[in-house]
Structure 1
């Protein structure tokens, strides 16, 4: 195998596939990146058997030559060393040449590295997915949906299914739900689909985080193919495979209250900053809890008390308060996380009592909601 390639494109592709490579694998060859040169271009693959990423660099694009393939072939190179080498090479082009016994020469300018490679035939094959039922979604919408839900997945392995985001597809609508049993995030969107199939799958939160980092902020469509145990995301020159989590996701629809006893409308930014300030003294303690009290004249009091440190109280003018008076306590961190995902200048918080879950929504937008369970302090 022998080819010359633009260094920037190689670095970008290496960084993308590195997101799937881990040093903690039981299959030694998976600590490497697989490189395949064909007459069309160069394909790089990284995998940790949960996530697999394939990045393709075409021979030419928009009339520019990116890679010159002198001899086709394949090799697996140690990801850790290969990624560091290509990042630090001195000139804009790189020559990669595999000699006999899999020894690989990496040349750029007057710099030359020799790396011992592994036989690409031994690299596990990527899942074979038949692309029958394709869902299409704009990249920027997909990234927003991930951002607005993935932070609510559980970080504890006691219930592995909760470490993923539940994706449901029905009647041209995608619904993403994440919960760690103390809070819940839900986001819906219309999507293009060529199938009437219903899907209900759970994608690991870690996979979605990595996918989101790789995707560009464009409105180009990403194609999504869901099978029994895998999901494939296809963007330009990029394939991202993730295994799905096994098991049934809990029915969260029962958690979301349909009625409320107290509705409060506040300015999103003002409320976020007030909660942030109130949590300054609560962060030290284990609890990080703030108290929220409705007062007369549509004023909210936000306070926090950490006996060994001090007390903070702040009044905030709401746009409106309807319903019963309320005193409730909740995690400041959960509230800040939720508020950061909501777009729009005003939000409505619907409470059904001091010890019941409450719901936060942007005004006039039913496609997204955040739910938080209160903390017992009174």
Structure 2
């Protein structure tokens, strides 16, 4: 194996692979990256058993001498690249089972491991294939990811439900206390499907995606899903579990519907959250005629209070809610107005934006 490549051309792809690498004493080969080169393509592959990332560098960006395929330490390669100046040329050459990397007057000699035992997803047969604009997928993730549970015993809550039915694409996340639902009308020219993608993969995918309308290719098999984004291929395992029936939670009819300034509400919540209970993280929203009063108290019996004017014509009503769940929603919504809806008795609080009609948030009230 032998090739030459400019530092920036190599590092731009390499960093995408390196993000998913973690220290792994059980499978030390997973700390490595596969480097495979032929006269047309330089391919870099990394994996953490859940996610596999392949990046492809076209022949116009490197000088090819001899083909080959090995694995090499991702951390060491990254440290080498970080400590050389911009636009330097890296000369990779495999000699006597050692990788020699020549950079100007510097020479690095690294151990390599055969790629044969590197765990990669093999010969995936896809059942469905479709194309989707990057922007839609990226928006879906950014507007819903914070409701994904972390290491919940219920496996289905540890990812995002991606569901296609009735020419609509849904992205739904929940941790059992709140729910985020993204819905958009879209003809994907494929049959209906309902899959759950794990949280780590979704966040990594979001980092790779751009906010443009370029199409990406999505392939779904029984146990995996792949996303082809320009020169990057991300493959990940699906979560094999049943997602909760989210449609029953969404309010179709409601008794109360209140429009509130997002900025005023956020400012008030940030103030009152200072003295909220550190265990329950609750604040109380008290609605009375044209006034919203927000209160909180903590374990030391310290209290906070804030209020501001709103348009409200219903009877007096109040509920407690996790302040940080509510702030997550406020930060996700771009519009200056948010709409809070609920029924009495209050079993759930639904939050929407009159402009971002594709997204719906639901937060369960606290019973303090």
Aligned-residue offset at 1:243: 0.3
- What are the Cα deviations for residues 89-140 of structure 1, in whole angstroms up to 9, with x where unaligned? 235221111112x200112121211100011233233343345632222222
Between the aligned partners of 1:107 and 1:189, the Cα distance in structure 2 is 51
Contact residue 135 and residue 223 of structure 1 kept, 8 A = yes
Whether 2:175 is the aligned partner of 1:180: answer yes
Q: Partner residue of 1:341?
A: 332
Between the aligned partners of 1:2 and 1:322, the Cα distance in structure 2 is 75
Structure 2: any 5+ residue segments left out of the alignment? none
Aligned-residue offset at 1:246: 0.8
Q: Partner residue of 1:123?
A: 118
Question: Pairwise mapping of residues 1-378 of structure 1 onto structure 2 (< 5 A)?
Answer: 1-24=1-24, 26-60=26-60, 66-92=61-87, 93-100=89-96, 102-130=97-125, 133-195=128-190, 197-282=191-276, 285-296=278-289, 298-306=290-298, 308=300, 310-318=302-310, 320-353=311-344, 355-377=346-368
Assess, with a 3 A threshold, how the Cα gap between structure 1 residues 87 and 316 changes in structure 2: closer, same or farther: same
Between the aligned partners of 1:316 and 1:91, the Cα distance in structure 2 is 54
Between the aligned partners of 1:235 and 1:158, the Cα distance in structure 2 is 32
Aligned-residue offset at 1:342: 1.6
TM-score of the superposed pair, with normalisation by structure 1 = 0.92
Aligned-residue offset at 1:326: 1.2
Contact residue 147 and residue 175 of structure 2 kept, 8 A = yes
Between the aligned partners of 1:250 and 1:44, the Cα distance in structure 2 is 38
Q: Which moved more, 1:228-237 or 1:253-262?
A: 253-262
Aligned-residue offset at 1:143: 1.3
Q: Partner residue of 1:63?
A: none
Assess, with a 3 A threshold, how the Cα gap between structure 1 residues 187 and 215 changes in structure 2: closer, same or farther: same
Between the aligned partners of 1:241 and 1:162, the Cα distance in structure 2 is 20
- What are the Cα deviations for residues 20-64 of structure 1, in whole angstroms up to 9, with x where unaligned? 32223643322210000111121100001110000011112xxxx
Contact residue 96 and residue 104 of structure 1 kept, 8 A = yes
Assess, with a 3 A threshold, how the Cα gap between structure 1 residues 98 and 245 changes in structure 2: closer, same or farther: same
Between the aligned partners of 2:8 and 2:187, the Cα distance in structure 1 is 34
Assess, with a 3 A threshold, how the Cα gap between structure 1 residues 13 and 364 changes in structure 2: closer, same or farther: closer
Which SS does the other structure have where 1:271 is aligned?
Answer: helix
TM-score of the superposed pair, with normalisation by structure 2 = 0.94
Where do 4+ consecutive residues of structure 1 move more than 4 Å? Answer: none
Aligned-residue offset at 1:141: 2.2
- What are the Cα deviations for residues 3-31 of structure 1, in whole angstroms up to 9, with x where unaligned? 11121121121110112322236433222
Which SS does the other structure have where 1:234 is aligned?
Answer: strand
Structure 1: any 5+ residue segments left out of the alignment? 61-65
Between the aligned partners of 2:252 and 2:232, the Cα distance in structure 1 is 41
Aligned-residue offset at 1:173: 1.9
Assess, with a 3 A threshold, how the Cα gap between structure 1 residues 322 and 33 changes in structure 2: closer, same or farther: farther
Contact residue 262 and residue 322 of structure 1 kept, 8 A = no
Between the aligned partners of 1:349 and 1:167, the Cα distance in structure 2 is 25
Aligned-residue offset at 1:221: 1.5
